[in-house]
Structure 1
Amino acid sequence: MRIQGNLFMWLSLFFLIVAGVYGVWSKEPVGTTALFLAFGLSIMIGFYLGFTARRVDVGAQDNKEADVADDSGEVGFFSPHSWQPLALAAGGALAFLGVAVGWWLMYFSAPVLLLGIWGWVFEYYRGENRTQ
């Protein structure tokens, strides 16, 4: 994690320099603001990764003598199949369509979004863990 933190710190320095040069040469406020925001985001991520790297064990990515296989292992649990992201995507598309067409479409997108979130959160609370 330390290497990734350093990468983001160097990236934030790059964004700061580019934002200054761009702001002076172009005198365009939107692009300059976006570059300064990218600087802020990069420095936040870099600080978080550097701070977290001090508190956790050294990973294989921080060891120069490590092989790719040294970082293998269980990453986590991933659902093999789920229809809930499709419901969330449909609700999100309907909500964004509501911004373009009319706000009244939000009345139709809100239940679809809520059902998609509810289904995704409680997807594995079935069977013996189910409450009556």
Structure 2
Amino acid sequence: MKYQGKMFLWLSVFLLVMAIVYGVWAKEAAGTTALFMAFGLSVMIGFYLAFTARRADTGAQDREDADVADDAGELGFFSPHSWQPLMLAIGGALGFLGIIFGWWLLYFSAPVILVALFGWVFEYYRGADQRY
């Protein structure tokens, strides 16, 4: 993850330079805003990957002497049958429809989003903080 974090941080430097050049040269607000937002997102992803790389074990992609087969196997635990992402997507869709059709629709989407987030975060907590 160390290389991916550095890659996104270098990408953010490139996007910042391009956003400034584009903003000065083109004087167009939409493209300049999009480039600055891409810069911000790239910084967030790069910071997260760099921060996580410090706490995680060194992966095969971070070693010079690693083979392709060294990275085989399980990569983590992924929930096989969770309904929470679908509920979160429905709540998010209702929220964006509320922006389009009327803010009153957010009163219906906010509880769906909150229940879906709560369910997704605490999906595997039962009893005395049971994991599986």
Q: Same fold (TM over 0.5)?
A: yes
1:118 and 1:40 map into 2 onto residues whose CA distance is 27
Q: Superposed, which structure 2 residues align to 1:1-132 within 5 Å?
A: 1-43=1-43, 45-46=45-46, 49-50=49-50, 53=53, 57-126=57-126, 129=127
Pairwise CA distance, 1:81: 0.7
Q: Tell me how far 1:12 sits from its aligned partner.
A: 2.5
Q: Deviations over 1:37-87 (max 9, x none)?
A: 433443454455456546655321122331222123443322221222222
- The structure having more radius of gyration, on CA atoms, is 1
Distance 1:23 1:51, change over 3 A: same
Letter in 1 for 2:101: V
What do residues 65-119 of structure 1 show as CA deviations (whole Å, max 9, x unaligned)? 3122212344332222122222222222222212211222222223333332343
Q: Distance in 2 between matches of 1:43 and 1:110?
A: 29
Q: For residue 119 of structure 1, what is the amino acid of its counterpart?
A: G
In 2, the alpha carbon distance for the partners of 1:108 and 1:19 equals 38
Identity percentage of aligned residues? 71
2:46 and 2:117 map into 1 onto residues whose CA distance is 31
Q: How has the CA–CA distance of structure 1 residues 40 and 88 changed in structure 2, closer, same or farther, with 3 Å as cutoff?
A: closer
Aligned counterparts of 2:53 and 2:118: Cα–Cα separation in 1 = 35
Give the paired residue count.
Answer: 128
SS in 2 for 1:22: helix
TM-score (norm 2): 0.70
- What are the ranges of 5 or more consecutive residues in structure 2 without an aligned counterpart? none
Query: Which aligned runs of 4 or more in structure 1 are off by greater than 4 angstroms?
Result: 47-57
| Code of the aligned partner of 1:3 | Y
